Amino acid sequence: MVRLGHISFLGTGLLNLGFALSAVSLSLDPLPQVASLTFLVGAVTMPTVCFLSAWHDCFRHMFFIPVASLIVAVVDFLIEGLLS
C-alpha cells in the first residue's frame, strides 16, 4: 500500500496537470469549479488513504472518498468542459 500511495501521489498530480492544460487549450473561462475542487480533493486523499491503509487495515474502508471525488471530477469536466 505504501508503493501504491507513492504512485497515486504522482498519478493524481499528473491528472491535475492534464486537467489544467486541457482547460487552457479548450479556452474554458471560468474553469469548472466542481472539477477543480474534486481533483484537488482526490489528489490529497488518495495517497493519504493509501499510506493510512498500509499502517492500519481499518482505513481501507475510506477508499470511497478519493475514488468518488475523482469520478465526480472527471464527469463534471466532461459535462461542463467538453460538452458545452
In a structure prediction context, what are the per-residue pLDDT tens digits for the chain, which is 84 residues long? 777 787 888 999 999 999 989 888 888 878 888 999 999 999 999 999 999 999 999 999 999 999 999 999 999 999 887 776
Distance CA 68, CA 65 (A): 5
pTM of the model: 0.87
Give me the pLDDT at residue 51, please. Answer: 92
pLDDT at 31: 80
- CA 69 – CA 27 distance, rounded (Å): 24
